[in-house]
Amino acid sequence: MHIAASCYDDVMEKHFRIRKGLGLTQAPTKEEFYGFDYNDVALVHFHKQGIGAGLFFRLRDGRVIDVGARAHDPNPFWYDQTTH
């Protein structure tokens, strides 16, 4: 399924505004908060082993950043798989 890049922009804006409203960042823009632009997002993961459900941006350069702007292990093995 192809997701329009503008959807990534909307998701980033939403989570940035929440953190800004809670006083968790002083960054003036979502791009400064995350350290990338929505056009840098290659895809989004919705689950990471050891963490569970979440939202993880996989960037075109291979990095993985969550909605709180924290870097994660880029190994695809950890994402979107469930353990039984």
The one-digit pLDDT tens for each residue of the chain (84 residues) are 456 778 999 999 999 999 999 999 999 999 999 999 999 999 999 999 999 999 999 999 999 999 999 999 999 999 987 554
Q: What is the pLDDT of residue 84?
A: 46
Q: What is the pLDDT of residue 35?
A: 97
Give the containing element (helix H, strand E) for 5: helix 5-21
Q: What is the pLDDT of residue 3?
A: 66
Q: What is the pLDDT of residue 21?
A: 97
Q: How many CA atoms lie within 13 A of 25 on its CB side?
A: 19
